[in-house]
Chain A
Amino acid sequence: MGDLGQILVGGITTGSLYALFLLGVLIVFQVSKSINFAYGQVGMIAAFSAWFLYSEQGLPVPLALGVGVLLAVIVNSAIDYAAIRRIPEGRPGLDLVVTLGIFLLITAVMQQLIDANAHTFVSLGADSRAELGGVVVSLNDGIVVGLTVTIIVGAYLLLNRTSLGTSLRASAEDAGIAQAAGVNVRALRTATWAAAGVIAAIVAVLVASRLSVDAFYMTPFLIKAFIAGMIGGLDRFWLPLSVAVALGVYESLTVFILGASAGTPAVFLLIIVVLALVPKRFVNERNEVRA
């Protein structure tokens, strides 16, 4: 029991991080209909510069983290302002190409400004552990799962129980109609990109506290979150987020059963099989184009 329980705890924690990260992807996709490939790097900026500020420049850790989050918000909003909004109509897919360039740019700049090495990050409770029923749980695990649940439930309530949420869903449905109905679509859009910046920063800091920080560490993470979104559907809410958690558990289980190196091929196999078997209707975005 102990081993399996341990695996489950690890899987759920990782899966929670995927889910929280995916939440940021979802709200941006639903309101702006675009994918930000540089999203992981936005989070990386927060964690890596926070590390730089507290460890190399001697800033207090909370202040450094605050500055990091702020930077992520600024960069994510700037990506929307300077790039995504300028994509001409009728060029689908250009968002991916443009943000791919930004992905490369951010990576290279951060490497240039700080360095290309991996550094240990403040542990944020990763080393204060407790044993619960034969399973070792760290404070960090608790923080991760707690924050994820809080933020996701908060986002759900915000979207479904408030007038702000109604406006958001209206502009996700049809920006033109929402605009005509008096919703300030532009402001909402800016707000979602800023909020997504905060989410990316939180996830990136948590991931850094569990692993380490460098200019690249968020990319595998981004891939997993995107995969979960792809399987669950980027225009839904609970399904992709659940898939994200399940993906974390699946990964831990394959590692547990097949050994440490089995994670990557297992995830690849999973997407290929899921995409090959699941009916098209189910995995495609609901984008019926009017003929």
Chain B
Amino acid sequence: MSRTATHNTVAPAVRTEGLTVRYGAFQALSDVTVSLPAGQISGLIGPNGAGKTTLLNAISGFTSIAEGSVHVGHADLTALDARRRALAGVVRGFQTVRLLDRESVLTNVLIGTERLPQPSALAQFFGLPSQWRAGRRDTAAAAEVLDLLGLTGQAHRRVDELPFASRRLVEVARVLVSSPSVILLDEPAAGLDQEGRQELAAVLTRVHHNHPSTMVVVEHDVDLVKSLCSYVIALDSGAFLRDGTPAEVFGDRQVQLAYFGRAAGADA
């Protein structure tokens, strides 16, 4: 797996047009039009409740869209359900870690291989040769990701026995194992310590280098975003605020007001 960076040729751009999401009378996203450059790691920032998770939900098909559309490459995915979008290459991680709690780390990662071509249910049930081949392929993919994330030693531990930081990594591993072309991660670094955050950033950079993908990472830590992302989108109160390079976006007065004015200001 030592393909060198040939990003933009394989990974598609992701585009939303006029995206509006409503929960009852509340508008969680209002007319959001953004484009995530192909083959790059983008940061998605904004204060709590800005609609970052909702935007990921809308792109990955986990919430119904009132208006607007979602495009990946040349395909319009708006009409597809979450499962079909995953099969089309859009895989997301969840902000609240969603794992098979009583199962092993390995099982949790292997479930992510669903996107790879799997033999029919009958072939799997009766253990036909195609099942063995697929099993070996999946196990190899899982071993690679576990190794990348430093989880190999924990492969057979039940995930509910693991510390929270490791559970987060398992969630990320499940997303990465099938090398999707669009990767959406919702605060993957939350709950990790400084060292863990840096390691995660290094891992994501490496994954991105090895397997071309369009990656979106929701993240609050400015330094992390700056080191990881080549592009940043800022949301506030469900509306698009600004996009551009990290330097441009973090230098923007409006962003500073919306983001630091509340988040950092409140901390001070």
Contacts and interface: CB of A to CB of B under 8 A. Distances in A.
Mutual binders A and B: yes
Interface of A: 90, 291
Nearest to A90: B101
List of 4 A-B pairs having minimum Cβ-Cβ separation, nearest first: A291-B62, A291-B57, A291-B94, A291-B63
Interface string B222-244: 00000000000000000000000
B53 interface: yes
Contacts of B62: 291
A90 B101 CA distance: 10
Contacts of A90: 101
A179 to B, nearest CB: 21
A150 B10 CA distance: 68
A176 to B, nearest CB: 16
B108 to A, nearest CB: 16
B130 to A, nearest CB: 33
Nearest to A289: B62
Interface in B83-107: 94, 101
8 contacts: A90-B101, A291-B53, A291-B56, A291-B57, A291-B60, A291-B62, A291-B63, A291-B94
Nearest to B82: A291
Interface string B52-96: 010011001011000000000000000000000000000000100
A99 to B, nearest CB: 23
A90 B99 CA distance: 12
A148 B56 CA distance: 49
Contacts of B57: 291
A90 B63 CA distance: 21
A90 B96 CA distance: 13
A19 B67 CA distance: 40
Contacts of A291: 53, 56-57, 60, 62-63, 94
A91 to B, nearest CB: 10
Nearest to B186: A291
A291 B186 CA distance: 10
B241 to A, nearest CB: 22
A114 to B, nearest CB: 42
A169 to B, nearest CB: 15
Contacts of B53: 291
Interface in B151-173: none
A291 B57 CA distance: 7
A291 B82 CA distance: 11
Contacts of B101: 90
A90 B100 CA distance: 11
B7 to A, nearest CB: 28
A34 B101 CA distance: 22
A13 B197 CA distance: 67
A291 B56 CA distance: 9
A279 to B, nearest CB: 14
A291 B61 CA distance: 10
Contacts of B94: 291
Contacts of B56: 291
B50 to A, nearest CB: 15
A92 B63 CA distance: 22
B85 to A, nearest CB: 13
A43 B216 CA distance: 56
A21 to B, nearest CB: 32
Interface string B30-54: 0000000000000000000000010
Given A291-B53, A291-B60, A291-B63, 5 more contacts: A90-B101, A291-B56, A291-B57, A291-B62, A291-B94
A90 B56 CA distance: 24
A291 B64 CA distance: 12
A90 B57 CA distance: 22
B210 to A, nearest CB: 28
A133 B195 CA distance: 86
A238 B245 CA distance: 56
A291 B95 CA distance: 8
Nearest to B95: A291
A291 B60 CA distance: 10
A97 B214 CA distance: 45
B48 to A, nearest CB: 14
Nearest to B56: A291
Nearest to A291: B62
B29 to A, nearest CB: 14
B46 to A, nearest CB: 17
A90 B62 CA distance: 20
Nearest to B23: A288
B79 to A, nearest CB: 16
B258 to A, nearest CB: 23
A90 B97 CA distance: 13
